[in-house]
Amino acid sequence: MQHFSPPDPDLLPPLPAAAAPRRDAGASVTTLGWFSPEIGRHDFTVLPGMTIAEIVAQAMPGLTAEERRHVRVILVSPRGQDVVEAGLWTRVRPLPATRVVIRMLPGRSAWRSILQLVVTVAAFALGQWWAAGWLGASGSFLGLGANAWGGIIGAGLSAVGALAINALFPLDQGSSKPDTSFAVTGWQNQARPDAPVPNPYGRHRMAPPFAASSYFEVVGTDLFVRALFVWGYGPIALSGIRIGDTPIEEFDEVEHEFRPGRPEDLPVTLYPNQVVQEPLSITLRREMVKNDKGEIQRDEPVEDDPFVVVSGRDATELCAIFQFSAGLSLYSVSRSKSIAYTVAIKIEQRPVVDDDDTPGPWDEVETLEITENIRAPFWRSHRWTLPARGTYEVRFTRMTNETEDPNVSDQIVLNALQTIRPEYPLNVDFPLAISAIRVKSTYQLNGQLDSLNAIVQRLLPTWDGEDWVEAASSSPATAFRDALTGAATDYPEPLEAIGESVTEWAEWCALQGLKYDRIHDYEATLQEVLLDICRAGRAAPRWDGEKWQVVIDRPTEDVIAHMSPANSRDYRWSAIYPRLPHAFRVPFIDASNDWQSGEMLVPFPDHTGPITRTEELKLPGKTDPDEIFREATRRQYEVLLRSGSARAIQDGVARIATRGDRVAVSLADIDRAHFSPRVKAVVGDLVAFEGASVVMEAGKVYAIRFRVHANADDVVGRSVVRKVATVPGDQSSVRMLRTGVAAADAEKPAAGEIVHFGIYGEESRHCIVRRVEAGDAGASVFHLVDYRPEIDTLTAARPIPPWDGRVGEIVAFVPVAPAAPVVISIETTRDVAPRVVVALNPGPGSAPLTRWQVDHRAEGAGSWSTATVSSAATPVLTGYALGDDIEIRARGLAPGGTPGAWGPVLAYTVGEAFAAAPADLAVELVVEATSETTVGVYSLFSWSAGGDGWAYELEWQRWDGTTGGPLSRGVTGAGETTLRTGHLAAYAQHRARIRALPDDDDPSDWSGWLDFVTATAPVGVDDDGA
């Protein structure tokens, strides 16, 4: 199961809920149980007229006197904030629209150490005892007594907890985890015991790990493989299923049983129980006894040579698989064919005993007698039931003596022993997407099924614009939601803990085309998972004390807060001027290239010329080349346009801005054109400053920025900029210029408010809150970066070049003509018609070769005919008869068709190497007496010998010039040149033909027909032969 550890402080779960909120009109109360204003915050409204003591009692019931000493109460209004001491709680009644902030605080001197302690406790508790830590009684902090704190401190301050005081905003460092392990080594299935269950997000091709060990099954003489794979947490949809690079449908005798990973899934039937296969490859021997000279002593008895194997534990059945690697047969020389042969194998067993016990006797399971006439490799298996569950020794003995007869094939290999248990192979509490495969291995898989792969898509709740519905999606918001609520985390959150900003983020990701396609098959903390997912969607995760939210890095019109020397201090502004590379080098899994590993060079927008200096940028979860280019471009603009960063400290525990907010900063301590005076009074359009003045120069346009509030309950308000009249010199007041729009002209700063003054458009520096740290005595340290909306504008405007995934530049090809080929041989074959086969080898040199070109013609002809074939094939010439004299020449063709030099013209006679039929077949008609009263006629054929030891075949038949009678045949012995027929019909026309039968070649063609007539008739004779 995937284990996700909880992350840093913005990802902490809530404290116990406070008393039920009251929504009557009155003071607005905020309770802050943690030391960060964003964590564990509860808002509710109380009735007007209540004292602070009553409000505290309602917000935090049951506080002891000691605990009340650590409670701080701050009253916040648009005019400012005040801390109310505990001694005044019973006498102070907040006015309506006042915000009361209640916080539980430690002593001043221990502020930072206590903060670190709390964060560390949170990170430790999340991983070990979630409910116990967070659901404790509110009377003791976090539900822990004093003795528990020492134990938690001793457990160690984790690195995850330390992140609460350091970088909270995800840094652009990429991920240290592999994007996927499947594309690196090819599509290879692996056994990964104790590894996390894969958790696919988006769309990806993957080779699933084995869910159980695969095993062999013997059917007849063929070998099958059964295997079980796990695709991940369900439900999952599959497509494009392949074994290696071949679609699974192309394989012979394959069965696939898929379970998508739903609660109602039934067990698979192709892998119904546990089978543990131990590979062996042991040759069973029974050698004949030999003397010192290696001579077989046939009279000596042959001793058994058994082999013992120990089965797996808790077995109910065993199965032995035997391989006959060379077949099983006896070749009979006398019959010129193979015949059946028999071997015997004895199987015995006994239970395994402890080392101190004496093993029992061997019990015979069975003696197998296997008889076959098979000259190719084949398999046999024997499966049997054990007398009782347990672990057994199994002894295999070959009972048939081995022989040195080369005509016998009888090698027996004990290929494997399988331990079989009746239990189902999977034992999990959550549905998994699995595939059971049964496929014929013989002549297809070389014995193993280890390259199954498919395109996977997890079916998860996905925002469709109206609701979260189950669908396949690559949205980062979909992955974010599942990472928090799905089965992959040890402590899944309820759906109610997912904030509304996640839905807004889903819509924004769809609009921007942002995707997260990744297979999580590695150990990771929840922090690492959420940060990787959010990076893919240009966001960061945030726990707001009630729900999980996201902070999206995108342009916004809302200015949440104003910061100036009047309400903040210790400004520090720094700029980094790095030596920029020419391009980012982005390794990724390329979905456009079947999810193979790829790498893209993305030049910086202002770079021209060759790329010689690069830096690696990781974009986990990105597989679309277009998105890779766009997101790398955005990172480049961030480097170029956000080189500066600032830090400022705000005192007080009540603040408005938090991470990801846009703020307007008046840098009066750094920029001489910036002023941030406090408003003394506003009369009409005139704004008077309190104890401060501003400086204006002639010819410049100035403005002030201030906040306006919709009503008394609007604490945040809205940022407004108004131009002012330019009056050169030091001025203690300014006059706002009218715009002609009544609503705009009515917006004015309030007395006591701090305004930003400066050149119009530059009166404030707009920044994004990158992170907020806790400072001493309740202060907040803001880390800021420039607000640069043009980053998104420039990113969207940059054209995305076409991507083909090819590595390297195309080098202009200079063709090299191949040398003339070498003719190895020219031969004639005969099927229906003669075929001239020309065997060629490349000539000397290293020129690449793609095709052969062979010209041919009849001797003396004027034009050539051409045969062109691949250089991997053999040229074949047709259209000639046996005995034709032809001419041949050949050359090679380089890539692109560049021809090489022609070889010499060679003369060849078609079929010149064939045996020729005798050309001098002759017939002699012989009359002989067949009885005392009759005579008969027969033919005696003769011819000249064509070769030493040749035999000859003759055919003859009656022939009337048009129709032939039945054929008679005769074959001579080797070297004979005559053949006598039986008696023939007298006065009848016949014909005969002959062909040679060489002992080391094909028969010759038949000779032409020889016609003859048996003119002598049988006659009667008297006793004296008259």
- Summarised one tens digit per residue, pLDDT across range 590-645 is 999 999 999 999 999 988 889 898 889 999 999 999 999 999 999 989 888 887 78
* Residue keyed to tokens 């009888």: 410
Largest CA distance in the chain: 174
Nearest-CA neighbor of 718 among 591, 860, 499, 556? 556
Give the three-class secondary structure for 482. helix
* Residue keyed to tokens 């998860």: 460
Distance CA 6, CA 15 (A): 16
Which run of H or E residues covers position 530?
Answer: helix 526-536
3-state helix, strand, coil in the chain (%, to 5): 15, 40, 50
Give the three-class secondary structure for 423. coil
Nearest-CA neighbor of 938 among 885, 897, 978? 978
Nearest-CA neighbor of 662 among 502, 505, 504, 788? 788
Distance CA 936, CA 977 (A): 23
Do the bridges between strand 412-421 and strand 329-332 make them parallel or antiparallel, or are there none, so unpaired?
A: unpaired
- State CA 688 to chain mean position distance: 66
* Cα→Cα distances 959→925, 982, 994, 1015, Å: 16, 17, 16, 14
pLDDT value at position 29? 57
Which run of H or E residues covers position 130?
Answer: helix 130-134
Q: Are 644 and 575 spatial neighbours (Cβ–Cβ below 8 Å)?
A: yes
Which run of H or E residues covers position 100?
Answer: strand 99-104
Q: Are 869 and 875 spatial neighbours (Cβ–Cβ below 8 Å)?
A: yes
Running DSSP on this structure, what letter comes out for residue 973?
P
Distance CA 744, CA 701 (A): 19
Distance CA 1025, CA 1019 (A): 11
* Confidence (pTM): 0.67
Nearest-CA neighbor of 198 among 456, 568, 388? 456
Q: Other CB atoms closer than 10 Å to residue 63's CB: what's the count?
A: 17
* Residue keyed to tokens 């040229």: 875
Query: 927 is written with which tokens?
Result: 């009359």
What's the full length of the chain, in residues? Answer: 1026
pLDDT value at position 693? 84
Which amino acid is located at 868 in the chain?
A: T
Rg of the Cα atoms in the chain: 48
Which amino acid is located at 36 in the chain?
A: S
Q: Which backbone phi and psi does 31 adopt, to 5 degrees?
A: -105, 135
Q: Are 602 and 583 spatial neighbours (Cβ–Cβ below 8 Å)?
A: yes
Stretches where the chain sits below pLDDT 50 are 1-25, 32-37, 107-176, 180-185, 1018-1026
Which amino acid is located at 907 in the chain?
A: A
* Cα→Cα distances 1001→337, 834, 998, Å: 22, 16, 5
* Residue keyed to tokens 């305004």: 755
